[in-house]
A and B are shown apart, each in its own frame.
Chain A
Amino acid sequence: MAARDSKSSHPSRGDHQGLGVSLTAVSKTYRSGVGESVQAVDAVTLDIPPGQSLAITGRSGSGKSTLLHLIGAMDVPDEGRITIDGMNIARLRDSERAALRRRIGFVFQRFHLLPALTALDNVLAPVIPYRTDFDKVTRARDLLGAVGLADRVKHLPSQLSGGEQQRVAIARALINHPGIVLADEPTGNLDTHTGAEIVAVLDRLRIERGLTLLVATHDASIAASCDRTLVLSDGRIVSDSD
C-alpha cells in the first residue's frame, strides 16, 4: 500500500541543508465563544536563515505555539504570508502539504507518541506509508542511538520516562532528514536536568545536520544556547536578539 505513494520527492540522505523560513505580516485570531476573540499572532514579520537556531520565548499565551503551528502548516494564518525554502505554504494541495511536513520535524511539548507502537515503530511512523531511498529500520535505529536510546528500541511509550519519550519524539522528527525542526516546549514536561539533556541532543543534531531549529521555550538557558532569541507578547514580537 505504502509503496504506491512513494513517488513524492524525498530529501536524500546527503541533504542536510537547513531550510530558510520567512514570515511577512502574519496574523492569527482565534474566536472563542460569543464574539470574544484572541489575537494569538499579530502581524509577525520574521526572517530565519537556513541553519539558524531560534528560541521563541514569551509568557504563557503569548502565541508561541500558534506561531510554530503556522510555520508547520498545521494551521493557516488569517493574514500574511509564510514561505519555507521560498515556497508559499498557504496554497498547497494535500499531497504537497504532506510532502512539506516531511521536510519539517515537529517535537511536541506532550511528546504525542503513538502509545501502541514501540519506540522504534514510533520513529518509523512518519515513513510507514512511503517508500524511502534509505533503509527505514536502520535509520530509525541510528536515530534512536543518536538520542541515546539504543537499548530502548522495543519499549512502548508507557514503558519510557518522559525524557526518553521526548527523545523518541526527536528521533521521529528527524526520520525524514528534515531541513527544519520545530520544537514546542520540548522540555516543558521534564525536569531541568533532563530538559538540558534534550536541548543538548537537539543542538548537537542541529549542528551535525545543518538544520534550522525553532524552539518555543520558557527556559532562559535554552534560549541562551540558541543563535537568536525572540520574545513574544500578545502575539507580537517585542524583542529580537538579531
Chain B
Amino acid sequence: MASVSFSLLTAATTTSTAQVQGTVARNLRPAYDILVRPPGSTTPLEASKGLVRDNYLSGIFGGITLQQYAQILKIPGVQLAAPIAMIGYVLQGVQIPIDVTNVLTPAASQVLTLTDNRTTDRGLTRFPPSSIGYVYVTDDPLQSQALKPGTSITVTPTTVIESTEVLPNGQKVTVCPSYFHVPNLTSPFADYQAQNGYCWSRRDLTANAGPVQLPPGHVGGYLDVVLPFLVAAIDPVAEQQLVGLGNAVTSGRYLRPTDSAVAIGAQPIPGSLAPHLQVPVLATTNPFVDDTDQITVSRLPAAAVALLHQGLLPDQLAAALAKETPIPAERVTLTAQEAYQQILQQLSNSAPLVDAYWTSGPTTYRQLSGGDLAPLPVTNSNSVWTSSVLSNGFEAAPIDSTDLGFRQLNEQLRTNTSPQLLTLHAVGEFDPSKLPGFSALSQVPLETYYPPQVTGADAASQKALGNQPLLPNANMAGYLQQPPLILTTLSALPAFEQDFPTVNATAPISVVRVRVGGLHGSVRQQLAQIGQVAAAIRQATGLDVDITAGSSPTTETIALPAGSDGRPALTLNESWVRKAVALVILNAVDGKSLALFVLILIVCGFFLANAAFAAVRARRTEIGVLRCLGWPRRMIFMFILGEVMLTGLVAGILGTGVSALLIALLRLEVPWWRVGLVIPVAMLLAGLSGLVPALLAAHAQPLDAVAPAVRAPRRPHPVRHIAGLALVNLGRAPARAALAAAALAVGIAALTVLLALNLAFDQGVVGSALGGFVANQVRAVDYLSASLAIVLGAASVADVLYINLRERASEFAVLTAVGWRRGHVARVAIGEGLGIGLAGSLGGAVLGLAVVAILLGPDLSLIAAPAAAAFVAGIVVTIVAASIVAATLQRLPLAATLAED
C-alpha cells in the first residue's frame, strides 16, 4: 500500500509538474518579450509590485531617440523592435444633419429648437442639456445675404449676417441673424451654438444646405460632433511582424514605410482647402468611445415666429427663444460610433485641418489601505483649449472635458509661421478585432489597438455599468485613455515637427516593444536569454526595460472617484501585467514537488517501519522460541530483516503493477524508470525500517520474547468507566501506541505541511491569470497527496489498533461474556483509537507547524488553518479506522476466543 501510494504520488507529482511546465512554456511568450520605455516612466508603484500598468502608453509622448532605437536594433538577440511614437490627440468634427421634416405642422411659419443631451460612461454621466440652435421654416420666400452675388461686407466684431424674409403682406423682415465672427467666449464650453439658426423657405428647400445634405425636400439643422483621436506613428514593417497589423486592414491599404506627408498644392476647385500637408494614416474602424447624443426636437409656440421677425441680434434672439416653452416632438439618438463613421469618410476624403493637438499626462495613484488604487483628480484650465485659428478663441472642446479629469492636458498649438497646414488622410482602415488573439494567460497590454480592460469590481459597480466594461470617452483627461485610433508612419513625423515646433523632435518614440530571437532550451534558459537581451538594452540605452515574457495579466482594483456629472464612484478591475510570473511559478512548483517527494518518502517509510515493528512484535513468541532453540542473534537479525525486505519486494512489485495500471488508466506522463524505481525504493525503505525491530528482536532475551506482548501496567489506576479502560489498555503497550501515534503524527504533519505549502503556493502564484490557471492545474495532485497522507496515517493507526485488539481478543470476549453489550466493547476499541488519534493528530499538527514555520516563516495566517484542518482530519480518520477495527471485534466467536487463550 505504501509503495503504491509512493509510486502513484511520485507519478502524479511529476505529471503535474510537467503539466505546469508545459503550461508555463506555452504561455511564456506574449506578443513581445521586452517593453522599453523612456527613462523614469516606470512608476514607483510598478517598480515595487513588479507590475506593468494597463495604460502604460498613456502619458508617454516621446522620450526615446531614434538613435536609441537604432541601438536597440543592433543588440544581438533582438529579432524585432517595434516602436510607437505617440503624437497626441487631434479633434475631428463632423456635422450630423438632424432631419425635422416629420415634425413640421401645417402652420405657415414655425420655429423648432434642437437640444443635445450627451451621456457617457454607460449612461452614468449625463451632461447638462445644451441648445444646438433653432430651425425656422416658413412659406415665405427667404433670401440669404451670403448668397447675394457681388456683395462685399466690411467685417467688424459685431457684423451680423442675416436672411431676408418677404412676409405675405410684402413687408421685408430680417431673420436668422448670425455674427460673422462668433464673439470671443469666456469658456470653450459656453452655449454659443444656441445662436445657430437654420432657416428654410418651403418655396426653395435647398436654400440653407449644410455640409452633409439633407435629402431633397427635407428640412432640419445640424449637430456638430467633435471627438478626440489619438494619433501615433509606427513602423509598418515592425508592426506587421509583431502583430500582423496589415492583416487587420479592412479597406484601403496598409501603411508603407515610405508613406510620409504629401504636399498638396492649391486646388482649382473653389471651396477646397488651401495648400496643405497631407499625412497618410491608417484609421481604426472602432473608436472604442462610449458617448451618446440624444437630440430633442421641440416645437416653440407661435409667438416665437414673432420674436424671429423682430430683427434681434443673434445672442438676443437666442436668449428670447430660450424663454419660450418648448414642446418636445421628436428624439434622435446618435452614438459616437455612428458619428465616427462619418468622420472616417471625411478622413478618406478631405479632412479638416489640424491646427492643434494635445498630449495627456499619466495618472498618478494613491494606494488605499486595502490595496486599491485611487487615481488622483487633476484640473485642467480652460486655456488648454485655446485656439490660434478659430475666431472665438477656443477649440471646439467636447463637453466631456468638463467632467472630472485624471490627466494633465498639454496643448500643442500650430505656429502661425509654418507655411503649410496639416490634414490627415486615411489610406486605409483596420479592424482591431481582426488582430490575432494572444493567450489570455500571457496577454500583455496591447493598447496600440485595444482600449484598457476595465470592469466593475463589486456588485454595485457592475450593476451601475450594466455588466459592461467601462470605455474611454471624449474626455482626453479621463481615467481611461483610448488606444491610438489613427496610425501613421515614423516617416510622417517631420510634418508634425514642422508644423508644431513644440513636438519632441529629438526623441519622438514613446515605447519600443522587443521580441527576442534564437531562443532555445528550457523555460528558465529562454527567460535567461531574454533577460540578457533586456540587460543589454538597458546598458546600451539607459532606458527603462521591463521583461514581459513570462508575465501574466493580473487584476488591480481601481477606486474611481465620482464624476462631476452624475457618475457614482466606481470600484473597477483593471487588467495589469505581473512580470516574472513564469519564474515564480516554476520555482514554486519545483519547490513544492521536492517537498512533496520528501514528505511522501517520510510518510511511506514510517508506514513501513510501523508495519515491520508490528510484524516483529507479533512474532515475539516465535522469535523467542528460535532463541531458546539456540539460533544465534545474527541469524535472527538476518531472518527478520530478510523477511521485512521480502515484504518490501512484494509490496514494491505490487505497487509497480498497480501504479502502471493507474498511470495507464489516468494517462499520467511518467518516465518508466521512475516507476521501476519503486521496487528498489520499497525494498530499501522496508530494510531501513526493519533494521530497528530486527535489532531489537535479535537482542531480546529469550524469555522476554516469550513473555506476552501485552503487559500489565506497573502502577494500576482505578478503572470505573469505558474511557478509563481504553486509556489503561493504551498504557499496556505504550511503545506500540506511541509508534502508531507517531505514524499518524507524521501523516498529519505531512498533511499540515502540504496544506500550508499549497496555501503558500497559491498565494505566491495567484494574482495573475497564469498563476490561477496553474494553481488549478496542480489542485488534483494536492488533493491526492493530502488524502494519501491521511490514509497512510490512518492505516498505521488501524494496523496497530487491529494487532492490539487481536491480541486482547479474549479480554473483549470476557467482557462480552460478563454482560457487556457489543456497543460497549466497540467503545473501548474506538476510545483506544481516539487516544492514538488525539495524540498523533496533536503531535502531527505541532510538528507540521514547526516544519512550516521553518520552511515558510512563522506566518500564522498561513499556518493555523492547515494545522487545524490536518488535526481535525486526523481525528476523524482515526475514529473511522477504529470503528472499522471495532466492527471486526463484533464478529468474535466468544466460546472459541475464550478457549483459544
Contact = CB atoms under 8 A, between A and B. Distances in A.
Given A102-B819, A176-B819, A129 B898 contact: no
Interface string A3-39: 0010000000000000000000000000000000000
Interface stretch (B467-475, B795-803, B807-815): B807-815
A128 B722 CA distance: 7
Contacts of B823: 94
B817 A101 contact: yes
A202 B811 CA distance: 23
A121 B718 contact: yes
Nearest to B729: A116
A74 interface: yes
A159 to B, nearest CB: 9
Contacts of A110: 901
A72 B716 CA distance: 31
Nearest to A175: B818
A88 interface: no
B825 to A, nearest CB: 9
Contact of A114 (B811, B893, B898): B811
Contacts of A125: 815, 818
Given A1-B827, A112-B898, A112-B901, A126 B818 contact: yes
Interface residues of B, number: 36
A128 B720 contact: yes
B202 interface: no
Given A69-B895, A125-B818, A176-B819, A118 B720 contact: no
Contact of A1 (B710, B723, B895): B723
B723 to A, nearest CB: 7
A129 B901 CA distance: 25
B898 A2 contact: no
Interface string A48-88: 00000000000000000110010010110000000000000
Contacts of A116: 712-713, 716, 719, 725, 728-729, 731-732
> Helix, strand, loop or mixed for chain B's interface?
helix
A129 B722 contact: yes
B716 A126 contact: no
Contacts of B822: 94, 98
A91 to B, nearest CB: 17
Contacts of A72: 817
Nearest to B822: A94
A148 interface: no
Given A5-B824, A74-B894, A126-B820, A118 B716 contact: yes
Interface residues of A, number: 39
Nearest to B890: A94
Interface in B553-576: none
A72 to B, nearest CB: 7
Contacts of B716: 116-118, 121, 154, 156
Contact of A65 (B720, B811, B818, B899): B899
Contact of B820 (A106, A112, A129): A129
B720 A124 contact: yes
Interface string A160-188: 00000000000011001000000000000
B812 to A, nearest CB: 10
Contacts of B810: 112
Residue among A69, A116, A154 with max Cβ neighbours from chain B (10 Å): A116
A156 B712 CA distance: 8
Given A75-B894, A156-B712, A121 B719 contact: yes
Nearest to B899: A65
Contacts of B711: 115
Contact of A101 (B720, B811, B819): B819
A157 B811 CA distance: 13
B821 interface: yes
A74 B895 contact: yes
B323 interface: no
Nearest to B718: A121
A1 B893 CA distance: 26
A226 interface: no
Interface in B820-843: 820-824, 827
Interface of A: 1-2, 5, 65-66, 69, 72, 74-75, 94-95, 98-99, 101-102, 106, 108, 110, 112, 114-118, 120-121, 124-126, 128-130, 154, 156-158, 172-173, 176
16 contacts: A1-B721, A1-B722, A1-B827, A5-B821, A99-B819, A101-B817, A108-B814, A112-B898, A112-B901, A114-B814, A116-B719, A117-B716, A117-B719, A118-B718, A130-B819, A158-B712
